Structure 1
Amino acid sequence: MMKTLPVSMFFTALLFFASTGCYAADSIELPQEFLDARPSHQLYMAYAEFKMGHHDLARQMWQSIGGSGRSEALFNLANLYIQGVGVNKDPQRAMQLYRQSAETGSRAAAYQLGLIYLHSAEYQNRDQARHWLTVAALDGDSDAAQQLANLNNDDPADPLSRVESLLVNGDADQALQLLHTLATATPPDNRAITRLAWLYESGLAVEQDITRAAELFAQAAEAGNAEAQYALSVMYQTGVGQPQDSQLAAQWLQRSAAQSYQPALDKLANPAD
């Protein structure tokens, strides 16, 4: 789940997902604890299930979330359809969901739409790209603001923009090579390290390696990347990739929230849930 994700993550948006689930679609009774929770905590619970490989359960959770959690839930559903995780890959459906999410207030979805309209061969539309990047930038997204500046001034693009362009167009091997180059540069690009962590966690373009993903999340988190800090918090909370440790989970959540990372702020807003 990426920006507002990872619940985001992925991009923070192209989020990188595993391709297998542990539940049969459309046959899951949602836990009462989930049904009774507030939307912010429902999002956290769905994300935790997703990280544990329970993709169908996570999907049904996201489908049921309303109220203040609706826009982020729609964003996460769109990511499933763009990657074909637990559902048939359907870019058109993904675009519909991204737009619904953006129109109901998701900054991450607005940024994602901007990137797709900027880079995708199928959907390329500079006017739409400029519109959605402007929406995200006005909502405080610094990456969107930089993309908009590059678009308006023809400046050299952020290297991660090139990664996203490659991924949107299905060039995962080249994207992976560029990510490795950025992650091992001096100094390393901690955003690239976080992206690599998502890849290793999901098994997309590389062999799935949860241990390696945990190492990369920890490296980027220690260096101050808020997205990685949140992902590491979830690992400690769920016991996937790290030993279950509620104290460390809370510490990393606090550090992520201190940088105004929205999913972390949402989780802290309802600590009793």
Structure 2
Amino acid sequence: MRTHIGYLLIALLLSTHAQAEPDLPEEFHAAQPKMQLYMAYAEFKMAHYDVARKMWLHITGKGSGEAAFNLGILYEQGLGVDQDIPKARDYYLLAAEKGSRAGAYQVGLMHMNHPELVSAETATHWLTIAALDGDEDAADMLKSINLGDDAEDDPILKVRQLIAIGEVDQARELLIEMSEASPPDYVAMTRLAWLYETGLGVEQDIHRAGELFKIAAEGGNAEAQYALSVMYETGVGQLKDTDLAQYWLQQSAKQHYQLAVEKVGENGVSLP
């Protein structure tokens, strides 16, 4: 498979920026890549997009794939930077190349919404790798590409597609409907919480995001449990509580949520 020249150039940019970011805190420079990812994620959650971007640009080694994925998010959504879909595509490709399952999935989503930027062949390649690594969403996306299915039978996939093409109101309405169903869909509730936290297409409401993350976390959603742990850790969206931060981090890690597992390992704590 021929390497895309765009993300080769971005790889060089990442290397250049990694040399030094003098306005980043010293503790960030001294931290290991996994902790740097966590610190950048916390800055992103507080809407400090420029700081998060600089941190992600600095991260090298094993954390560089997830850093590239998050940089793609910034450019796709225009958070702290001018929206640049081709640049977002290049970051997602770089992330996939560096082993990020999230990056591989996003390459597939890019194909579905911007086929002029990502070919079916490229999307199929990366989605297959992610699916073989256990990513069920990637497997569903791969099926949609190969069989020409639409997203009607997969509401969460439909939501992701709607958000990607800018139909956020419709996506939000679908998420609310799924969240308020009986029983509630905690995956949908977690996606809705992200919308309120980032202010993507809605008025930013950290308090509401915190409420939704808490309900979804208590309902057993691992992603929400991790997000809630960060809120308790940072004091944004929840009152700061180190014990609760560790509790929800552990609950998420027990379900093998990757970011939580990495954070637990970084802390040197073994799962019971």
Question: Same fold by TM (over 0.5)?
Answer: yes
Point out 4+ residue stretches in structure 1 off by more than 6 angstroms: none
| Aligned position for 2:246 | 250
In 1, distance between residues paired with 2:255 and 2:202? Answer: 30
In 2, distance between residues paired with 1:117 and 1:90? Answer: 16
Secondary structure in 2 matching 1:224: coil
2:31 corresponds, among 31, 37, 45, to 37
Check the 8 A contact 2:37/2:56 in 1, yes or no: yes
Deviation at 1:127, TM superposition (A): 3.1
| Aligned position for 1:8 | none
More RCO (CA 8 Å, sep 6+)? 1
| Length, aligned pairs only | 248
Deviation at 1:244, TM superposition (A): 0.5
Deviates most, 126-135 or 55-64: 126-135
1:91 corresponds, among 85, 91, 101, to 85
In 2, distance between residues paired with 1:64 and 1:124? Answer: 27
In 2, distance between residues paired with 1:29 and 1:272? Answer: 29
2:105 corresponds, among 96, 105, 111, to 111
Q: Kindly indicate which of the two structures has a greater share of residues assigned to helix.
A: 2
Deviates most, 183-192 or 144-153: 144-153
Structure ID, larger Rg: 2
**Structure 2: unaligned runs, 5 residues or longer:** 1-19
**Structure 1: unaligned runs, 5 residues or longer:** 1-25
Deviation at 1:214, TM superposition (A): 0.5
Matched residues, percent identical? 56
Distance 1:208 1:128, change over 3 A: same
Check the 8 A contact 1:256/1:264 in 2, yes or no: yes
Cα distance per residue 1:89-136 (max 9 Å; x no partner): 111111011001100100110011112212336546433332222111
| Aligned position for 1:144 | 138
In 1, distance between residues paired with 2:57 and 2:71? Answer: 8
In 1, distance between residues paired with 2:174 and 2:202? Answer: 14
Length-normalised TM-score, structure 2: 0.86
2:121 corresponds, among 106, 124, 127, to 127
1:167 corresponds, among 148, 163, 181, to 163
Deviates most, 141-150 or 216-225: 141-150
Deviation at 1:142, TM superposition (A): 1.4
Check the 8 A contact 1:28/1:57 in 2, yes or no: no
Length-normalised TM-score, structure 1: 0.85
In 1, distance between residues paired with 2:63 and 2:21? Answer: 23
